[in-house]
Every structure is written in C-alpha cells, then in structure tokens.
Amino acid sequence: MSKISKVAIVGGTHGNEFSGIYLIKKWQQQPQLLARASLQVETVFANPKAHAENKRYIDADLNRQFSAQSLADYDLANYEQSRAKALHQQLGPKANPNMDLVIDLHNTTSNMGPTLILLEQTPFYKQLAAYVKMQMPEAVIFLEEAEDDMAQHRFLASCGKYGVLIEVGPQPQSALRQDILEQMERMTGYILDFVDLYNQQAVPELPKLLEAFLYLDTITLPMDEQGERLAMVHQHVQDNDFKPLNPGEPLFRTFNGEDIYYEGNKTVYPAFINEAAYYDNNLAMSFLDKVYIEVN
Amino acid sequence: MSKISKVAIVGGTHGNEFSGIYLIKKWQQQPQLLARASLQVETVFANPKAHAENKRYIDADLNRQFSAQSLADYDLANYEQSRAKALHQQLGPKANPNMDLVIDLHNTTSNMGPTLILLEQTPFYKQLAAYVKMQMPEAVIFLEEAEDDMAQHRFLASCGKYGVLIEVGPQPQSALRQDILEQMERMTGYILDFVDLYNQQAVPELPKLLEAFLYLDTITLPMDEQGERLAMVHQHVQDNDFKPLNPGEPLFRTFNGEDIYYEGNKTVYPAFINEAAYYDNNLAMSFLDKVYIEVN
C-alpha cells in the first residue's frame, strides 16, 4: 500500500456553485482546519473567471475537458480548454500525478443531499465511501459509469491518482446556503480523516456491504422537431432524487397537461432531477441502479 | 368606475426566470386559456435576448429601468435601457397607458410561495388582492413601498394604468418546476377572473380585512473592507420567508462559525431571503411589516 500524501481540494470548477468556492476561501484563511498528520493538503480555485462572471463556465463546461485526447489537442484553446491543460499540469499529469487524491467540490440544484461520487470501484474508494457513510449516514454514494481507461475520463478529479466529487444540493446557482455548505464541509473533513487513518493503517472496522447508486443513463426532456420543450419533469418525480421510480409511474407533464409515464421495465433511482445546469442540453435527469457493493 | 379592458401578461422580464416564459409560450399556443368576456389579453416576452443567453439580464436589470426620468434619458442606451423604452411605448406611456393592467411574472429562489406584489394600495388593488387570497389561501400579499409618484416607479408593471407582479418560488434560476408553474398559472387566472367580475360589477363579497406584508427595508450581507462577504444567511432564517424574525434571533452565520443577531427593536417578516439574483449587490433579504388592510 502506497500512502496518499498529497491532496488537492478543488472549488469553483463551476463558477456559480458557491459552497466549494466559499469553503476554499475559508480554508485559505484557516488552513489548520484541513491539517491532518500524514497529509499535505492544498486548495485550488479551478475557474475564477467564470465565478467573476457569476456563470457555470465562460466557453465550455470545465468538468468535461480532462480526457487525455482533449488535453493533448492544442487546437482546443478556449478558456476552459486552456484552464484544463493548466490544471492538469498542476494536479496531474494523469500518467504520474502530483496529487494522490483530488476532491472536487460541486453543488446541484437537485435534492440530492450530500453525495459522494466515485470515479472507480477499487478497494480504496470502497473503504473511503464506507467510512464516509459510517460517519454521515445521510451521505449518498454515487458510482460513476466504469471507464475502461481513466486516462479518457473527462472529469477534473481524474487528474489525481484517486479522484472523488462531493456534490451537495439542493442549492440554487449563485446562492450560498448554510446547511449545504456545512454538509460539504463535514464530508470533506471525513474524507481527510479517512485518508489519514488509511496512511496510518488505522482504518476502523467498516461495514462489509455498502448501499450505492450506479449510473445507468441520462434522460432528455420531450422535445418537438423545432427543439422546443414539450414537457417538464413531473412533480411525482421532482425532489425525489435516489427514490425508486417504477415502470408506469409519471415522469413528465406536458404543457398541455398530459402525463408521460416511465416506460422502462425495471425500477430505477433518478438523480440530478431537473438540475438547472443541464437545461442547455435539455437533460431531465439521470437514471441509476441501486446496488450493494462489497467493501474489502 | 372605468373598465379594465386591456391586459398585458409579461413573462421573461428576467431571462432566467422560467415559469413566466414557459407560461407565455403555452398561452400563445392556447390563447383560449386567457379568454375572459370583458377583456382583451395579450402576452409579451420582455427580455428574449437575456433568455437566449440564459441570464437575468444582458447589461442591466430590466425591472429597474422604468422611471419617467430613465425613460426620458436617451443617453441610457444599453440593451435593457433600450428595451424599456420600447416596452413603455407598447404598454404605456404612463401618462395615458395602452394597457389598463400589466401582470408581470417573476420567479424567486426564495421560499416565498405564490406572492402577489401590489404597486399601490387603492381600492382596485385591495379588492383584487382580497379576491386572489379568497381563491388561493396560500397566496401572500406583498405591498411595495408607497411611491408618491408612480411615474418615477422603476418596475415594468408601472407602465400600465394598474400593475402587479406575480412572484413565485422557490425555483432555481434556469429551472422549471411543475408546482411553481401551476401556482403562477392559477394566480394569473384568478386575477383575470377578478378583472372580468370587476368590469361586470359582479365582484362577490370580499373579506373586510386582508393580511399583507409591507416592504420596509433591504438588508445587506456583512462585508469586510475589501468587499468580501464575512457571513451567510443563518439557517434560522433560511426558507422562513414571511415568518416572524424577533429581536435577538440569529440572522447571519460568519465563516468563522459565529452568529450575528438581529438587533432591531421590533419583529419583522423577511422575504427574498437569500435570493440568488441579489448576490451581485450582496443583498441578504428584505424586511417587511405584517399589516392588515381594509378592503373597501
């Protein structure tokens, strides 16, 4: 087992997600709050220009620019594509990263509570998730689609040897809620605690099985041929992130007042329901499966 | 009594407040939903350019550009200042308006429910508010600061002979919630119903006293000398729009974890608590007084 010595905590990857941005500012004033015996922790403000303009991004979503292919393509030169290359130098490179762990802080307008998003399902990640869940039972564990090759992962957190996202909501864009900020701060603290215990080979006994949600698919709003939306997320689904959606239950409500039903053949667990940031692409929600993973 | 014959329903005065924008689109497809015997109703999309860019505004807040002084100043030539002059031609002019009533549709990220904002407190407004409250007990009546001279009012709705705002939340910017859209649609319908009854001198018996909230003041977040925020809205206040805030109760939480208390000498009723759109100016909330007005 190699130690996880260098940790980067990244805020403001999306410029209008305020919890991470204000936590970074707070921790820069009070670095002792991040101090753990076996770790070096640094803070990174990923997209200050987008934050200054109070927007998610200037030219393109920063958190989709980190595939090895994009990072190697110097014709991709807009602000976020350039910023990604700079951050990859700072946190990566993926082949031999400066950072052992990258914690990327995000907010959602969806009712997802404090969610820990894992990029892979190796033993380190599973133990980390089990520890966080043990300390913070309200935490939700979200498993990203498995990538055969992490080098091609598009997320900022994939720059580190390990990478996780903390995604906390509901919080409107450009607003700062005390409850959401405190959930993010607590989850970040538990992650640092775990890594310190892991380095000292002092991880406590963890539950053997962990409930988690595995990403399946992303669902689009119903549209007409001119690209106009025909419907909105149904109130039967709204705010029910990580709750079961069964075949035959209402999914959308058209502007004519008709219901559109979920026609799949298995129960799914939606998340990022009606996320405001996904309105550019008319995404309605993600579907996930509920799974139990073995912690070993 | 002169009839109220021409009504304009305005959506998208702020480009990222989606309920009004989608209702306008819906009503343009289904104009029969707005039809009332004694009325001509038209729909207006106030700031389509800001909506296309998914922003509140391009250059300046459109809903602050309608004072007689600004409208007469042709050096004020940015997008919203120009758009205001065009809308004033269409809906006004204030001295002799084309529109007898302007209904301006807004969303807030604050937990204000369906709120009817009145620009004045003349008998027509009070009867209208009492009728809406009778049909929709969850509605909140919000009284704008009295202006000596409506000509100097900065709101778009002041272009009409009468003007009201419908303000419904909580809804994140750039998202569309079914519950919020339906509340806005119902309140708009009750206003049209009332105006039709008023024209026909068939207004039913109304309650004699009406609970309302009178605007007092706007409160700023605590800031340091460099213009950095020192605190956020306290969770004791968050989401408690129109609930009493008593002297000595917590108002802000600093990033150092300290509480700042409300030091006024009377109970107030906050609204627009932690509204995301007011983050540009670091506004925390408005304070209102709870009053009972006589309906006559």
Helix, strand, coil shares, percent, chain A, to 5: 30, 25, 45
A133 and A51 in a common domain: yes
Q: Which residues of A touch B52 (CB under 8 A)?
A: none
Domain boundary among A207, A232, A251: A207
The answer to whether the beta carbons of residues B44 and B78 sit under 8 Å apart is: no
Within A41-154, residue ranges assigned H as helices are 48-52, 68-72, 79-91, 123-135
Domain boundary among B207, B226, B246: B207
Q: Would you tell me how many other CB atoms lie within 10 Å of the CB of residue A56? A: 24
Residue by residue, what is the 3-state secondary structure of A195-209?
HHHHHCCCCCCCCCE
Directed axis angle between helix A18-29 and helix A178-199, to 10°? 60
Residue A296 lies in a domain: no
Residue at B41: amino acid letter: V
B238·A179 Cβ contact <8 A? yes
Among B247, B241, B99, residue whose Cα is nearest residue B159: B99
The answer to whether the beta carbons of residues B208 and B272 sit under 8 Å apart is: no
Among B121, B239, B134, residue whose Cα is nearest residue B187: B134
B138 and B53 in a common domain: yes
Partners of residue A142 on adjacent β-strands: A117, A213
Q: How far is B186 from chain A (nearest CA, A)?
A: 13
Q: What is the pLDDT along chain A (296 residues), one digit of tens a residue?
A: 689 999 999 999 999 999 999 999 999 999 999 999 999 999 999 999 999 999 999 999 999 999 999 999 999 999 999 999 999 999 999 999 999 999 999 999 999 999 999 999 999 999 999 999 999 999 999 999 766 678 899 999 999 999 999 999 999 999 999 999 999 999 999 999 999 999 999 999 999 999 999 999 999 999 999 999 999 999 999 999 999 999 999 999 999 999 999 999 999 999 999 999 988 889 999 999 999 999 98
Report residue B191 as tokens: 């206003």
Residue A39 lies in a domain: yes
Q: How far is A280 from chain B (nearest CA, A)?
A: 9
- Residue linked to tokens 């307008």: A109
Residue A213 lies in a domain: no
A22·B232 Cβ contact <8 A? yes
CB pairs under 8 A between A and B: 84
DSSP code at position B62? G
In residues, how long is chain B? Answer: 296
Q: How far is A134 from chain B (nearest CA, A)?
A: 25
Residue A78 lies in a domain: yes
Within chain B, residue ranges assigned H as helices are 18-29, 48-52, 68-71, 79-91, 123-135, 178-199
A181·B26 Cβ contact <8 A? no
Tell which wins on pLDDT, B145 or A227: A227
- The pLDDT-based confidence of B280 (bands split at 50, 70, 90) is confident
Q: What average pLDDT score do residues B257-264 get?
A: 97
Q: Judged by CB atoms within 8 Å, which residues 78-137 of A form the interface with B?
A: 109
The answer, for B75 touching chain A at a CB cutoff of 8 Å, is no
* Nearest residue, CB atoms, B274 vs list A177, A233, A280: A177
Core vs surface per residue B147-162: b (16+ CB within 10 A) or e: eeebeebbbbbbbbbb
Query: Looking at residue A288, what is its pLDDT?
Result: 98
A202 and A123 in a common domain: yes
CA A202 to each of CA A7, A193, A196, A205, A210: distance values in angstroms, whole numbers, following the listed order: 19, 11, 8, 9, 20
Residue B1 lies in a domain: no
A198 and A83 in a common domain: yes
Dist CA B156 CA B150 (whole Å): 11
Query: Looking at residue B147, what is its pLDDT?
Result: 67
Helix, strand, coil shares, percent, chain B, to 5: 30, 25, 45
Query: Looking at residue B151, what is its pLDDT?
Result: 87
The answer, for A279 touching chain B at a CB cutoff of 8 Å, is yes
ipTM of the complex: 0.93
- The pLDDT-based confidence of B148 (bands split at 50, 70, 90) is low
Query: Looking at residue A149, what is its pLDDT?
Result: 78
The answer, for B175 touching chain A at a CB cutoff of 8 Å, is yes
Query: Looking at residue A157, what is its pLDDT?
Result: 97
The answer, for B36 touching chain A at a CB cutoff of 8 Å, is no
Query: Looking at residue A89, what is its pLDDT?
Result: 97
B276·A173 Cβ contact <8 A? yes
Query: Looking at residue A148, what is its pLDDT?
Result: 67
A228 and A144 in a common domain: no
Partners of residue A89 on adjacent β-strands: none
Query: Looking at residue A275, what is its pLDDT?
Result: 98
CATH number of residue B271's parent domain: 2.20.25.160
The answer to whether the beta carbons of residues B209 and B294 sit under 8 Å apart is: yes
Nearest CA in chain B to A259: B178
Q: Which helix (H) or strand (E) holds A185?
A: helix A178-199
Q: Would you tell me how many other CB atoms lie within 10 Å of the CB of residue A28? A: 12
Domain boundary among B154, B182, B207: B207
Report residue B211 as tokens: 């609970």
B177·A274 Cβ contact <8 A? yes
Interface mutation vs chain B, best among A22, A255, A281, most B CBs within 10 Å: A255
Contacts of the segment B225-234: beta carbons below 8 A, 24+ positions apart: B228/A25, B229/A22, B229/B255, B229/B282, B230/B254, B230/B255, B231/B255, B231/B260, B232/A22, B232/A176, B232/A177, B232/A178, B232/A181, B232/B274, B233/A176, B233/A177, B233/A178, B233/B273, B233/B274, B233/B284, B233/B285, B234/A178, B234/B259, B234/B260
Core vs surface per residue A272-292: b (16+ CB within 10 A) or e: bbbbbbbbeeebbbbbbeeee
- Residue linked to tokens 């070993």: A296
B190 and B51 in a common domain: yes
Residue B186 lies in a domain: yes
Query: Looking at residue B150, what is its pLDDT?
Result: 81
**The total number of structural domains that make up chain A:** 2
B216 and B191 in a common domain: no
* Nearest residue, CB atoms, A178 vs list B175, B179, B232: B232
Query: Looking at residue A279, what is its pLDDT?
Result: 82
DSSP code at position A248? T
B258 and B189 in a common domain: no
Query: Looking at residue A147, what is its pLDDT?
Result: 67
Residue A254 lies in a domain: yes
Dist CA B232 CA A92 (whole Å): 34
Among B234, B228, B260, residue whose Cα is nearest residue A29: B228
The answer, for B26 touching chain A at a CB cutoff of 8 Å, is yes
Residue A68: φ, ψ to 5°: -55, -40
Q: Judged by CB atoms within 8 Å, which residues 180-239 of A form the interface with B?
A: 181, 228-229, 232-235, 238
Directed axis angle between helix A123-135 and helix A178-199, to 10°? 130
Residue B247 has pLDDT above 90, yes or no: yes
CATH number of residue A69's parent domain: 3.40.630.10
Q: Which residues of B touch A172 (CB under 8 A)?
A: 109, 170, 172-173, 276
Residue A8: φ, ψ to 5°: -110, 130
Q: How far is B180 from chain A (nearest CA, A)?
A: 10
Q: How far is B147 from chain A (nearest CA, A)?
A: 30
Q: What angle do CA B98, B102, B103 make, to 5 degrees?
A: 160
DSSP code at position A192? H
Q: What percent of chain B has pLDDT over 90?
A: 95
Dist CA A90 CA A8 (whole Å): 10
Domain range holding A246?
219-280
Interface mutation vs chain B, best among A23, A110, A173, A234, most B CBs within 10 Å: A173
B257 and B112 in a common domain: no
Residue B276 lies in a domain: yes
Among A5, A1, A203, residue whose Cα is nearest residue A122: A1
Q: What average pLDDT score do residues B21-36 get?
A: 97
B46 and B142 in a common domain: yes
Residue B185 has pLDDT above 80, yes or no: yes
Q: Which residues of B touch A232 (CB under 8 A)?
A: 22, 176-178, 181
Interface mutation vs chain A, best among B45, B57, B178, B251, most A CBs within 10 Å: B178
A191 and A246 in a common domain: no
Residue A188: which region, alpha, beta or left (left: phi > 0; alpha: psi -120 to 50)? alpha
Nearest CA in chain B to A235: B178
A77 and A135 in a common domain: yes
